[in-house]
A = this chain, B = another copy of it.
Amino acid sequence: MASFTVENYIKAIYRLSQKDAEGVSTNAIAEALGTKAATVSDMLKKLSQHKLIHYKKYQGTTLTKNGRDMALNIIRKHRLWEVFLVDKLEFRWDEVHDIAEELEHIDSDELINRLEDFLGRPKFDPHGDPIPTREGQIERREQVPLTELKTNETGYVTGVKDSSKEFLQYLDAQGIELGNKLEVTDIFDYDKSRTVKHQGKLVTLSQQVCKNLFVRTES
């Protein structure tokens, strides 16, 4: 019970339950996976039988301990492969998602543990997302979206909420990378956009961009 398909369902449910806190709805899963609600309904029954999710008809679903462990292991593999692709094979951070999506299903703990050592046991992937440990622990970062900063406050870029190719390429175009220092110099009430000082230059970032850019304020 750990096919390609099952793993994708479990991963989708994990991601959605991060956002919603509530039980994850059938429709939300269908949309996330590009399938139909009927298909998801069938699958939820199977996942439930295999004790990967808690499920009562019409009630949405949540992962069991087993399901969560599976999800974290897939995410661990995905993020370690992303580090490999960027650090070793010199892919850009906006190019790695789809390939990692395939590599994450390779089934070998030995492989992934050796890969982790080879990469120098990184704690974060190229988008700033934390990499779960072998034991399934995942670090919660102290970070806030840039929208939380007031005028004259400063933050260091720790990650992105939206890892889409489009957003990452936008950040590249602005020259914004993980670790960069950003100082908010202006907030426009009109559209909630912000002007920030970045490497000596002033750039204006829309509210949508600020929402999707995480920063750490202390240190």
A103 within 8 A of B: yes
State whether A106 touches B102 (Cβ < 8 A).
yes
Residues of B within 8 A of A39 (CB): none
A77 nearest CB across to chain B (Å): 12
- Residues A106 and B114 in contact, CB atoms below 8 Å apart: no
A89 interface neighbour in B99, B106, B115, Cβ under 8 Å:
B115
User: Number of copies of this chain in the oligomer?
Assistant: 2
Which chain B residues lie closer than 8 Å to A98 at the CB level? 108
A91 on the interface (CB 8 Å rule)? Answer: yes
Chain A residues within 8 Å of chain B by Cβ, number: 16
Query: Is A118 engaged at the interface, CB distance under 8 Å to the other chain?
Result: yes
Q: Which residues of B contact A115 (CB under 8 A)?
A: 89
Interface membership of chain A positions 91-119, coded 1 if the CB is closer than 8 angstroms to chain B and 0 otherwise: 10000001100110011100100110010
The chain B residue with its CB closest to the CB of A90 is B114
For the complex, what is the distance from the CA of A159 to the CA of B89, rounded to whole Å?
A: 28
Contacts beyond the supplied A88-B118, A91-B114: 16 A-B pairs with Cβ under 8 Å: A85-B111, A89-B111, A89-B114, A89-B115, A89-B118, A90-B114, A98-B108, A99-B106, A99-B108, A99-B111, A102-B106, A102-B107, A102-B108, A103-B103, A103-B106, A106-B106
